[in-house]
């Protein structure tokens, strides 16, 4: 098994994988995997008695009657049914993890905002206590919208587990490495990779290399999917084979344990006496996965002009209105710029969608200074933005020769809904108060008056 287990030994027993990586390739595939030979029933889902004394249980990720192309469910064969993995619920507070609607009367979200990286913490912060919400959008109760978070994780969860009934979680590491030991298997991620954890999946998060910092997009709505490529055809952008789903892994562990549940924006805990990571075998298409952003094959302007950034969509979560995403996850990676007689950086614009960006590493062409690795920026619904003065000057005068943007990677969580700042984002996160000044010195370059020519 190639999973790096030096930092935190892997307690789980894993199924074999064909290539020895611990993952199975493909996006939205119907997978099957067993960590004990013969644990997976053949020919039916629900035998009268499952082998090894396991319980059969279905995890439904879509309504039973969702159209076939969208229908997702996984059959799990486990030591105890999930209903034994929860006891009585007790409400707990997570003051920094907020959910929409969360519109504060004394916090203004109207504006263009940029933040420096959030400093790491000396405190022991887990995946749950280290989550800091920056913005919320839409409404978790009607399953539309999203939240953008920064995570600061210094401590592994020990005999502690979490699941979000509210959301699918897209994880974008920026520093450090994390291991997600989930009910359906183990995913390890490092910067330049992402992980997606489906709604309802139980997991514990361990720090492999810390302190860890990164970004999370919590998707309240329909699941992330690959975008249609239209005339691009059958290849490029994110290719399905580069998505990796973990093989089955389980632990048969009796120990006092805590399960934290996020449900309709509230947090609850429940105490049990064993690990809930007890799925020995499973088959289905509702599963966590990872993706290496370096495998993304960008398609762009090969002659002139600057296309809309939708050409860089890695994953899109539909909103119900065709072409208008609940969330687009967009990647600005290293690439060649070759457009002739063109202003190559992003153009000035106003957008009905709202754009939350994060910098994983390197320099972003529209903002050569100030938008630093670990930092974020928000250009909310219908708020004008674009290249800063330095980027404008450079883009207007640079020689029109091929240029390779190297060692650079930023992303955008773009949603159809306005994003509302949390108190923490407005008051504690290191906001750059002078951000809007980056456009102040843009000159009036107009050199004529109407009718003069
Ligand atoms: O605002 C941004 O920097 C993101 C962005 C990039 C781009 O190339 C075109 C439009 C856009 O919103
Ligand atoms: Fe933009």
Beta strands 254-263 and 249-250 are unpaired
Atom of ligand 1 nearest to the CA of 364: 3
Residue 300 Cβ inside 6 Å of ligand 1? The answer reads: no
Per-residue burial over 419-433, b if 16 or more Cβ lie within 10 Å, else e, is bbbbbbbbeebebbe
From the CA of 309, which ligand is nearest?
A: 1
Q: Which of 52, 268, 306, 361 is catalytic?
A: 306
CA distance 221 to 199: 10
Nearest CA to ligand 1 atom 1: 386
- Cα–Cα nearest to 150, from 121, 178, 130, 180: 130
pTM: 0.97
- Name the token pair of 52: 């090894």
CA–CA separation, 432 and 365 (whole Å): 19
Ligand 2 centroid–CA 191 distance in Å is 23
Which residue among 300, 309, 358, 367 has the greatest number of ligand 1 atoms within 8 angstroms of its CB, and so is best to mutate?
A: 309
Tell me if 355 is assigned to a ligand binding site.
yes
Answer yes or no: is the C-beta of 385 below 6 A from any ligand 1 atom: yes
CA distances from 46 to 55, 57, 164 (A): 9, 8, 26
> Which protein residue has the closest C-alpha to ligand 1 atom 8?
346
Asked whether 344 lines ligand 1 (CB < 6 A), one says no
**Is 361 an active-site residue?**
no
**Buried b vs exposed e over 95-116: b needs ≥16 C-beta within 10 Å?**
ebbbbbebeeeeeebeebbbbe
Pocket test for ligand 1, best of 376, 412, 415 (most atoms within 8 A of CB): 412
Element (H, E) at 23: strand 23-25
Please give the pLDDT value at position 6.
47
394 is in an annotated binding site: no
Q: How many other CB atoms sit within 10 Å of the CB of residue 351?
A: 16
The pair phi, psi for residue 393, each rounded to 5°, is -60, -45
Place of tokens 């992303």: 411
**Which ligand is closest in space to the CA of residue 332?**
1
274 is in an annotated binding site: no
If you compute the radius of gyration of the chain from its CA atoms, what whole number of angstroms results? Answer: 23
Euclidean distance between CA atoms 279 and 374, whole angstroms: 36
Q: Please name the helix (run of DSSP H) or strand (run of DSSP E) that holds residue 186, with its range, or none.
A: strand 185-189
Does the beta carbon of 379 lie inside 6 Å of ligand 1? yes
| Ligand 2 center–CA 327 separation, angstroms | 14
Strands of 288-337 (E only): list them.
289-292, 313-321, 324-337
309 alpha carbon to ligand 1 midpoint, in Å? 6
Per-residue pLDDT of the chain (453 residues; tens, 9 = 90+): 344 434 678 999 999 999 999 999 999 999 999 999 999 999 999 999 999 999 999 999 999 999 999 999 999 999 999 999 988 999 999 999 999 999 999 999 999 999 999 999 999 999 999 999 999 999 999 999 999 999 999 999 999 999 999 999 999 999 999 999 999 999 999 999 999 999 999 999 999 999 999 999 999 999 999 999 999 999 999 999 999 999 999 999 999 999 999 999 999 999 999 999 999 999 999 999 999 999 999 999 999 999 999 999 999 999 999 999 999 999 999 999 999 999 999 999 999 999 999 999 999 999 999 999 999 999 999 999 999 999 999 999 999 999 999 999 999 999 999 999 999 999 999 999 999 999 999 999 999 877 655
The rounded distance, in Å, linking the Cα atoms of 369 and 390 is 9
Rounded Cα distance, 216 and 212, in Å: 13
Peptide bond into 101 cis (omega under 30): yes
Ligand 1 binding pocket includes 120 (Cβ within 6 Å): no
**Cβ 346 under 6 angstroms from ligand 1:** yes
Residues 6+ apart with CB under 8 A from 206: 7, 8, 156, 157, 178, 179, 181
415 alpha carbon, distance to own chain's centre: 13
Question: Which CATH number is 296-437 given?
Answer: 2.60.120.10
Q: How many CA atoms lie within 13 A of 302 on its CB side?
A: 2
- Per-residue pLDDT at 317: 98
23 is in an annotated binding site: no
**pLDDT for res 87:** 86
Q: Tokens for 440?
A: 């102040």
When the candidates are 2.60.120.10, 3.40.640.10, 2.60.120.380, 2.40.50.140, the CATH number that belongs to 13-107+120-293 is 2.60.120.10
Atom of ligand 1 minimally distant from the CA of 386: 1
Residues at Cβ < 5 Å from ligand 2 ion: 355
Residue 403 pairs in a beta bridge with: 337
Q: Does the bond joining 211 to the residue before it have cis omega, within 30 degrees of 0?
A: yes
Give the pLDDT score at 4: 41
CB 328 within 8 A of CB 313: yes
- Which ligand 1 atom sits nearest the alpha carbon of residue 412? 4
Any idea which ligand is nearest the CA of 344?
Answer: 1
What was the ipTM of the complex prediction? Answer: 0.99
> Who's near 60: CB < 8 A, 6+ residues apart?
72, 73, 286
> What pLDDT, on the 0 to 100 scale, is given for residue 301?
97
The residue with tokens 């399960």 is 259
Q: Where are the domains of the chain?
A: 13-107+120-293, 296-437
Cβ of 24 closer than 6 Å to ligand 1, yes or no, is no
Output the CA 33–ligand 1 centroid distance in Å.
41
Structure tokens at 94: 């997570």
Ligand 1 pocket, 366 CB below 6 A?
A: yes
Residue 149 beta carbon below 6 angstroms from any ligand 1 atom: no
Q: Which residues pair with 177 in a beta bridge?
A: 209
For residues 334 and 405, is the Cβ–Cβ distance under 8 A? yes
């Amino acid at each position: 098994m190639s999973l790096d287990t030096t930092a935190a030994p892997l307690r789980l027993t894993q199924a074999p994988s064909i290539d020895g990586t611990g993952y199975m390739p493909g996006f939205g595939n119907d997978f099957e995997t067993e960590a004990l030979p013969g644990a997976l029933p053949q020919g039916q889902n629900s035998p009268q008695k499952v082998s090894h004394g396991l319980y059969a249980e279905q995890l439904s990720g879509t309504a039973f009657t969702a159209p076939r192309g969208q229908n997702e469910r996984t059959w799990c064969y486990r030591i105890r049914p999930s209903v034994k993995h929860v006891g009585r619920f007790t409400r707990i507070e997570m003051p920094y993890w907020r959910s929409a609607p969360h519109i504060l009367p004394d916090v203004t979200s109207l504006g263009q905002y940029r933040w420096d990286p959030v400093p790491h913490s000396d405190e022991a912060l887990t995946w749950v206590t280290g989550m800091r919400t920056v913005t919320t959008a839409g409404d978790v109760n009607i399953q539309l919208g999203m939240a953008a978070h920064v995570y600061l994780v210094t401590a592994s969860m020990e005999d502690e587990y979490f699941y979000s009934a509210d959301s699918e979680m897209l994880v974008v590491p920026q520093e450090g490495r994390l291991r997600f030991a989930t009910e359906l298997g183990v995913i390890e991620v490092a910067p330049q990779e992402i992980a997606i954890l489906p709604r309802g999946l139980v997991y514990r998060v361990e720090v492999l290399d810390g302190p860890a910092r990164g970004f999370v997009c919590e998707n309240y709505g329909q699941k992330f999917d690959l975008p249609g490529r239209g005339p691009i055809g059958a290849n490029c952008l994110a290719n399905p084979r580069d998505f990796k789903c973990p093989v089955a892994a389980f632990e048969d562990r009796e120990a006092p344990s805590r399960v934290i549940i996020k449900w309709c924006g509230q947090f609850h805990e429940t105490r049990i006496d064993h690990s809930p990571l007890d799925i020995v075998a499973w088959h289905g298409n509702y599963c966590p996965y990872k993706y290496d952003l370096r495998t993304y094959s960008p398609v762009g302007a090969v002659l002139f002009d600057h296309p809309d950034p939708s050409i860089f969509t890695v994953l899109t979560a539909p909103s119900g209105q065709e072409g208008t995403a609940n969330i687009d996850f967009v990647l600005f990676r290293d690439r060649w710029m070759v457009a002739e007689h063109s202003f190559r950086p992003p153009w000035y614009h106003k957008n009905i969608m709202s754009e939350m960006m994060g910098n994983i590493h390197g320099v972003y062409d529209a903002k050569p200074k100030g938008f630093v690795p670990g930092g974020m920026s928000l250009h909310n619904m219908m708020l004008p933005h674009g290249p800063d003065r330095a980027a404008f000057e450079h883009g207007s005068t640079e020689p029109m020769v091929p240029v390779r943007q190297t060692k650079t990677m930023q992303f955008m969580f773009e949603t159809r809904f306005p994003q509302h700042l949390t108190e923490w984002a407005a008051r504690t996160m290191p906001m750059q108060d002078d951000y809007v000044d980056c456009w102040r010195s843009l000159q009036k370059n107009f050199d004529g008056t109407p009718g003069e020519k």
